[in-house]
Amino acid sequence: MTDLNIRTDGHAGRITLTRPKALNALTHDMSLEIEAALDAWAEDESVRLIVIDAEGDRAFCAGGDIAYMYHSGRTGDFAGPRAFWRDEYRMNRKIARHPKPVVALMQGYVMGGGVGIGCHAAHRVVGETTKIAMPECAIGLVPDVGGSLLLARAPGRLGEYLGLTGTRMGPADALRAGFADAHVPQEAWRGLTRALCDTGDISAIAGVATDPGRAELAAVAGEIDHAFEAHTLSGILDRLDASGTPFAKTAEAELSRGSPLSAATTLELIRRSREAGTIEAALELEYRCTWRCIEQGDLIEGVRAQIIDKDRAPIWKHGDPRAVTHEEVAAMLAPLDNETREPGETA
Protein backbone atom coordinates (compact mmCIF):
# COMPACT_ATOMS: atom_id res chain seq x y z
CA MET A 1 0.00 0.00 0.00
CA THR A 2 1.18 3.55 -0.64
CA ASP A 3 1.30 4.62 3.03
CA LEU A 4 3.99 2.05 3.87
CA ASN A 5 6.95 0.42 2.18
CA ILE A 6 7.35 -3.04 3.71
CA ARG A 7 10.11 -5.28 2.39
CA THR A 8 13.18 -7.31 3.32
CA ASP A 9 16.66 -5.97 2.71
CA GLY A 10 19.59 -8.24 3.41
CA HIS A 11 19.18 -9.54 6.96
CA ALA A 12 16.56 -6.92 7.87
CA GLY A 13 12.84 -6.57 7.69
CA ARG A 14 12.15 -2.97 6.66
CA ILE A 15 9.10 -0.84 7.46
CA THR A 16 9.11 2.70 6.10
CA LEU A 17 6.25 5.12 6.70
CA THR A 18 5.59 6.95 3.44
CA ARG A 19 3.09 9.71 4.24
CA PRO A 20 5.49 12.65 4.70
CA LYS A 21 2.91 15.26 3.61
CA ALA A 22 0.65 14.02 6.43
CA LEU A 23 3.61 13.91 8.84
CA ASN A 24 3.39 10.12 8.51
CA ALA A 25 0.23 10.02 10.61
CA LEU A 26 -0.80 6.46 11.39
CA THR A 27 -4.02 5.04 9.94
CA HIS A 28 -5.90 1.91 10.96
CA ASP A 29 -4.81 0.09 7.81
CA MET A 30 -1.18 1.01 8.48
CA SER A 31 -1.41 -0.53 11.96
CA LEU A 32 -2.74 -3.76 10.51
CA GLU A 33 -0.05 -3.88 7.81
CA ILE A 34 2.72 -3.29 10.34
CA GLU A 35 1.33 -6.01 12.58
CA ALA A 36 1.17 -8.49 9.70
CA ALA A 37 4.81 -7.80 8.84
CA LEU A 38 5.89 -8.22 12.46
CA ASP A 39 4.09 -11.56 12.64
CA ALA A 40 5.66 -12.81 9.40
CA TRP A 41 9.19 -11.84 10.37
CA ALA A 42 8.92 -13.40 13.82
CA GLU A 43 8.99 -16.80 12.10
CA ASP A 44 11.37 -15.90 9.25
CA GLU A 45 14.87 -17.16 10.04
CA SER A 46 16.39 -15.00 7.29
CA VAL A 47 15.32 -11.84 9.15
CA ARG A 48 17.69 -11.09 12.01
CA LEU A 49 16.40 -7.64 12.90
CA ILE A 50 13.73 -5.11 11.92
CA VAL A 51 14.29 -1.46 10.95
CA ILE A 52 11.43 1.04 11.19
CA ASP A 53 11.94 4.47 9.64
CA ALA A 54 10.00 7.15 7.77
CA GLU A 55 10.22 9.39 4.73
CA GLY A 56 10.51 13.16 5.02
CA ASP A 57 12.41 15.55 7.24
CA ARG A 58 9.58 16.86 9.39
CA ALA A 59 8.31 13.78 11.18
CA PHE A 60 8.87 10.13 11.91
CA CYS A 61 5.17 9.97 12.85
CA ALA A 62 3.28 12.88 14.37
CA GLY A 63 0.43 10.75 15.71
CA GLY A 64 -2.63 8.78 14.77
CA ASP A 65 -5.35 9.75 12.33
CA ILE A 66 -7.36 11.81 14.81
CA ALA A 67 -9.32 13.59 12.09
CA TYR A 68 -10.84 10.20 11.24
CA MET A 69 -11.75 9.69 14.90
CA TYR A 70 -13.38 13.12 15.03
CA HIS A 71 -15.51 12.63 11.93
CA SER A 72 -16.52 9.13 13.02
CA GLY A 73 -17.39 10.29 16.50
CA ARG A 74 -19.42 13.21 15.21
CA THR A 75 -21.69 10.78 13.35
CA GLY A 76 -22.02 8.51 16.38
CA ASP A 77 -19.69 5.86 14.99
CA PHE A 78 -17.66 5.01 18.06
CA ALA A 79 -17.00 1.44 16.97
CA GLY A 80 -14.58 2.44 14.20
CA PRO A 81 -12.17 4.45 16.38
CA ARG A 82 -12.38 1.85 19.15
CA ALA A 83 -11.41 -0.88 16.68
CA PHE A 84 -8.54 1.33 15.49
CA TRP A 85 -7.22 1.71 19.04
CA ARG A 86 -7.66 -2.00 19.78
CA ASP A 87 -5.66 -3.04 16.73
CA GLU A 88 -3.07 -0.29 17.14
CA TYR A 89 -2.40 -1.25 20.75
CA ARG A 90 -2.01 -4.90 19.81
CA MET A 91 0.58 -3.83 17.23
CA ASN A 92 2.36 -1.67 19.85
CA ARG A 93 2.66 -4.68 22.12
CA LYS A 94 4.11 -6.79 19.33
CA ILE A 95 6.84 -4.21 18.75
CA ALA A 96 7.65 -4.20 22.46
CA ARG A 97 7.67 -8.01 22.72
CA HIS A 98 9.07 -8.94 19.32
CA PRO A 99 11.58 -11.82 19.37
CA LYS A 100 13.82 -10.04 16.84
CA PRO A 101 15.64 -6.77 17.66
CA VAL A 102 13.58 -3.82 16.42
CA VAL A 103 15.45 -0.61 15.50
CA ALA A 104 13.53 2.66 15.14
CA LEU A 105 15.10 5.71 13.47
CA MET A 106 13.05 8.70 14.62
CA GLN A 107 13.50 12.15 13.09
CA GLY A 108 11.40 15.26 13.58
CA TYR A 109 8.05 14.95 15.32
CA VAL A 110 7.43 11.73 17.23
CA MET A 111 4.09 12.12 18.97
CA GLY A 112 1.21 9.96 20.11
CA GLY A 113 0.93 7.07 17.67
CA GLY A 114 4.51 7.72 16.58
CA VAL A 115 5.68 7.01 20.12
CA GLY A 116 3.78 3.73 19.94
CA ILE A 117 5.61 2.69 16.78
CA GLY A 118 9.08 3.93 17.66
CA CYS A 119 9.56 4.13 21.40
CA HIS A 120 8.76 0.50 22.23
CA ALA A 121 11.50 -0.70 19.89
CA ALA A 122 14.48 -2.43 21.47
CA HIS A 123 16.89 0.07 19.91
CA ARG A 124 15.55 3.63 19.59
CA VAL A 125 17.69 6.05 17.62
CA VAL A 126 17.15 9.82 17.66
CA GLY A 127 18.88 12.64 15.83
CA GLU A 128 19.32 16.38 16.02
CA THR A 129 15.79 17.17 14.77
CA THR A 130 13.91 14.73 17.01
CA LYS A 131 11.02 16.13 19.07
CA ILE A 132 9.17 13.56 21.16
CA ALA A 133 5.96 14.33 23.03
CA MET A 134 2.73 12.89 24.38
CA PRO A 135 0.35 15.87 23.92
CA GLU A 136 -2.94 13.95 24.18
CA CYS A 137 -4.44 16.01 27.01
CA ALA A 138 -4.57 18.98 24.62
CA ILE A 139 -7.10 17.14 22.44
CA GLY A 140 -9.11 15.55 25.24
CA LEU A 141 -7.43 12.14 25.11
CA VAL A 142 -4.86 10.50 27.42
CA PRO A 143 -1.31 9.31 26.70
CA ASP A 144 -1.88 5.94 25.07
CA VAL A 145 -0.13 3.44 22.72
CA GLY A 146 1.75 2.24 25.80
CA GLY A 147 2.99 5.77 26.41
CA SER A 148 1.70 5.74 29.98
CA LEU A 149 4.27 3.05 30.78
CA LEU A 150 7.10 5.00 29.19
CA LEU A 151 6.06 8.06 31.18
CA ALA A 152 5.80 5.97 34.34
CA ARG A 153 9.38 4.73 33.89
CA ALA A 154 10.87 8.21 33.44
CA PRO A 155 13.08 9.39 36.32
CA GLY A 156 11.42 11.05 39.29
CA ARG A 157 8.13 12.70 38.36
CA LEU A 158 9.24 13.64 34.86
CA GLY A 159 6.58 11.35 33.41
CA GLU A 160 3.74 13.14 35.14
CA TYR A 161 5.12 16.46 33.93
CA LEU A 162 5.48 15.31 30.33
CA GLY A 163 2.08 13.65 30.26
CA LEU A 164 0.18 16.57 31.76
CA THR A 165 1.88 19.39 29.86
CA GLY A 166 2.67 17.69 26.53
CA THR A 167 6.18 19.19 26.61
CA ARG A 168 8.36 18.26 23.63
CA MET A 169 11.68 16.57 24.29
CA GLY A 170 14.77 17.04 22.18
CA PRO A 171 17.21 14.13 21.75
CA ALA A 172 19.06 14.62 25.03
CA ASP A 173 15.88 14.79 27.10
CA ALA A 174 14.44 11.83 25.20
CA LEU A 175 17.44 9.72 26.22
CA ARG A 176 17.23 10.88 29.82
CA ALA A 177 13.49 10.18 29.99
CA GLY A 178 13.90 6.67 28.58
CA PHE A 179 12.13 7.29 25.27
CA ALA A 180 15.34 6.71 23.27
CA ASP A 181 18.58 4.74 23.55
CA ALA A 182 21.10 6.36 21.21
CA HIS A 183 21.76 9.66 19.47
CA VAL A 184 23.18 9.31 15.97
CA PRO A 185 23.73 12.33 13.69
CA GLN A 186 21.15 12.09 10.94
CA GLU A 187 23.75 12.35 8.21
CA ALA A 188 24.95 8.92 9.40
CA TRP A 189 21.54 7.22 9.28
CA ARG A 190 21.79 5.99 5.70
CA GLY A 191 25.12 4.31 6.36
CA LEU A 192 23.85 2.90 9.66
CA THR A 193 20.79 1.42 7.96
CA ARG A 194 22.96 -0.13 5.28
CA ALA A 195 25.21 -1.71 7.91
CA LEU A 196 22.24 -3.08 9.84
CA CYS A 197 20.77 -4.65 6.72
CA ASP A 198 24.07 -6.05 5.48
CA THR A 199 25.22 -7.54 8.77
CA GLY A 200 22.08 -8.08 10.83
CA ASP A 201 24.16 -6.88 13.77
CA ILE A 202 22.72 -4.16 16.01
CA SER A 203 26.19 -3.31 17.37
CA ALA A 204 26.51 -1.00 14.36
CA ILE A 205 24.47 1.56 16.32
CA ALA A 206 27.04 1.91 19.08
CA GLY A 207 29.74 2.53 16.50
CA VAL A 208 28.12 5.77 15.28
CA ALA A 209 26.36 7.00 18.43
CA THR A 210 27.38 10.41 19.78
CA ASP A 211 26.70 12.59 22.81
CA PRO A 212 23.43 14.55 22.27
CA GLY A 213 24.50 17.35 24.59
CA ARG A 214 22.73 18.79 27.61
CA ALA A 215 19.29 17.56 28.69
CA GLU A 216 17.41 20.80 29.25
CA LEU A 217 14.83 19.37 31.64
CA ALA A 218 17.55 18.06 33.95
CA ALA A 219 18.08 21.62 35.15
CA VAL A 220 14.53 21.79 36.54
CA ALA A 221 14.30 18.19 37.75
CA GLY A 222 13.97 19.32 41.36
CA GLU A 223 11.07 21.63 40.54
CA ILE A 224 9.38 18.93 38.48
CA ASP A 225 9.66 16.34 41.23
CA HIS A 226 8.42 18.71 43.95
CA ALA A 227 5.33 19.83 42.05
CA PHE A 228 4.36 16.66 40.23
CA GLU A 229 4.71 14.27 43.14
CA ALA A 230 1.52 15.75 44.63
CA HIS A 231 -1.23 13.16 44.90
CA THR A 232 -3.87 15.07 42.95
CA LEU A 233 -4.16 17.45 40.02
CA SER A 234 -5.26 20.19 42.43
CA GLY A 235 -2.23 19.51 44.56
CA ILE A 236 0.09 19.86 41.57
CA LEU A 237 -1.51 23.14 40.60
CA ASP A 238 -1.24 24.41 44.18
CA ARG A 239 2.48 23.62 44.29
CA LEU A 240 3.14 25.26 40.92
CA ASP A 241 1.16 28.33 41.97
CA ALA A 242 2.99 28.56 45.29
CA SER A 243 6.39 28.21 43.61
CA GLY A 244 5.86 31.09 41.20
CA THR A 245 9.12 30.47 39.33
CA PRO A 246 9.24 31.02 35.55
CA PHE A 247 9.27 27.25 35.07
CA ALA A 248 6.29 26.78 37.41
CA LYS A 249 4.26 29.48 35.68
CA THR A 250 4.89 27.96 32.26
CA ALA A 251 4.09 24.43 33.47
CA GLU A 252 0.87 25.61 35.11
CA ALA A 253 -0.23 27.39 31.93
CA GLU A 254 0.55 24.36 29.75
CA LEU A 255 -1.25 21.99 32.12
CA SER A 256 -4.30 24.25 32.32
CA ARG A 257 -4.73 24.40 28.53
CA GLY A 258 -5.62 20.73 28.26
CA SER A 259 -8.83 18.91 29.08
CA PRO A 260 -9.26 18.84 32.88
CA LEU A 261 -10.83 15.38 32.72
CA SER A 262 -7.98 14.09 30.56
CA ALA A 263 -5.35 15.63 32.83
CA ALA A 264 -6.82 14.17 36.01
CA THR A 265 -7.24 10.78 34.35
CA THR A 266 -3.70 10.91 32.94
CA LEU A 267 -2.24 11.48 36.39
CA GLU A 268 -3.96 8.37 37.75
CA LEU A 269 -3.20 6.40 34.58
CA ILE A 270 0.54 7.02 34.81
CA ARG A 271 0.61 6.01 38.44
CA ARG A 272 -1.36 2.83 37.86
CA SER A 273 0.91 1.94 34.94
CA ARG A 274 3.94 2.55 37.17
CA GLU A 275 2.55 0.17 39.76
CA ALA A 276 1.60 -2.50 37.22
CA GLY A 277 4.87 -2.22 35.31
CA THR A 278 4.01 -4.06 32.07
CA ILE A 279 3.09 -3.00 28.56
CA GLU A 280 0.05 -5.28 28.69
CA ALA A 281 -1.36 -3.64 31.83
CA ALA A 282 -0.67 -0.14 30.50
CA LEU A 283 -2.46 -0.84 27.21
CA GLU A 284 -5.42 -2.32 29.06
CA LEU A 285 -5.79 0.78 31.22
CA GLU A 286 -5.31 3.09 28.24
CA TYR A 287 -7.95 1.29 26.20
CA ARG A 288 -10.51 1.76 28.95
CA CYS A 289 -9.81 5.49 28.83
CA THR A 290 -9.73 5.97 25.07
CA TRP A 291 -12.85 3.80 24.66
CA ARG A 292 -14.65 6.32 26.88
CA CYS A 293 -12.93 9.55 25.78
CA ILE A 294 -14.62 9.58 22.38
CA GLU A 295 -18.15 9.17 23.74
CA GLN A 296 -18.04 10.45 27.32
CA GLY A 297 -14.95 12.60 27.42
CA ASP A 298 -13.53 15.65 25.66
CA LEU A 299 -11.94 14.09 22.58
CA ILE A 300 -14.42 15.32 19.96
CA GLU A 301 -14.31 18.88 21.27
CA GLY A 302 -10.55 18.83 21.64
CA VAL A 303 -9.93 17.67 18.08
CA ARG A 304 -12.46 20.20 16.80
CA ALA A 305 -10.67 23.08 18.50
CA GLN A 306 -7.11 22.01 17.71
CA ILE A 307 -7.33 20.26 14.33
CA ILE A 308 -10.64 20.90 12.58
CA ASP A 309 -11.70 24.50 13.29
CA LYS A 310 -8.30 25.45 14.74
CA ASP A 311 -9.83 28.13 16.96
CA ARG A 312 -7.77 26.84 19.91
CA ALA A 313 -10.75 27.53 22.16
CA PRO A 314 -12.14 24.19 23.34
CA ILE A 315 -15.12 24.15 25.65
CA TRP A 316 -14.21 21.33 28.02
CA LYS A 317 -16.74 19.44 30.13
CA HIS A 318 -15.05 20.92 33.20
CA GLY A 319 -14.18 24.60 33.24
CA ASP A 320 -11.64 24.19 36.05
CA PRO A 321 -8.97 21.48 36.39
CA ARG A 322 -9.75 21.37 40.10
CA ALA A 323 -13.39 20.46 39.43
CA VAL A 324 -12.77 16.88 38.29
CA THR A 325 -13.74 14.42 41.01
CA HIS A 326 -12.04 11.22 42.08
CA GLU A 327 -15.19 9.33 41.12
CA GLU A 328 -15.05 10.67 37.56
CA VAL A 329 -11.45 9.58 37.16
CA ALA A 330 -12.20 6.14 38.61
CA ALA A 331 -15.05 5.77 36.13
CA MET A 332 -12.73 6.49 33.18
CA LEU A 333 -10.37 3.73 34.32
CA ALA A 334 -12.96 1.17 35.38
CA PRO A 335 -13.12 -2.18 33.56
CA LEU A 336 -15.34 -2.12 30.50
CA ASP A 337 -18.67 -3.96 30.67
CA ASN A 338 -17.68 -6.18 27.75
CA GLU A 339 -14.06 -6.55 28.78
CA THR A 340 -12.59 -9.95 28.05
CA ARG A 341 -9.19 -9.66 26.39
CA GLU A 342 -7.60 -6.27 26.00
CA PRO A 343 -5.34 -5.06 23.19
CA GLY A 344 -2.13 -5.82 25.04
CA GLU A 345 -2.95 -9.44 25.71
CA THR A 346 -2.13 -12.39 23.51
CA ALA A 347 -4.91 -14.59 22.18
Residues with catalytic function: 64, 113, 136, 144
Q: Where are the beta strands (DSSP E) in 80-170?
A: 102-106, 109-111, 123-126, 131-133
Chain mean position to CA 209: 24
DSSP state of 220: G
- Which pairs with CB-CB distance under 8 Å and at least 24 residues apart come from 18-23? 18/54, 18/55, 19/55, 20/54, 20/55, 20/56, 20/57, 20/58, 20/59, 21/56, 23/56, 23/58, 23/59, 23/61, 23/62, 23/63, 23/108, 23/109
Residue pair 283/134 in contact by the 8 Å Cβ criterion: no
Question: Residue 63 to residues 58, 60, 128, 185: CA-CA distances in angstroms?
Answer: 13, 9, 20, 23
Q: Rounded to 5 degrees, what are φ and ψ at 161? A: -60, -50
Between CA 18 and CA 16 the distance in angstroms is 6
Q: State the amino acid at position 122 in one-letter form.
A: A
Burial class (CB in 10 A: 0-12, 13-18, 19+), 254: middle
- Decide: helix, strand or coil at residue 257: helix
Between CA 285 and CA 147 the distance in angstroms is 11
Residue pair 328/261 in contact by the 8 Å Cβ criterion: yes
Nearest to 108 by CA among 38, 19, 2: 19
3-state percent helix, strand, coil for the chain, nearest multiple of 5: 55, 10, 35
Q: Rounded to 5 degrees, what are φ and ψ at 13? A: -85, 135
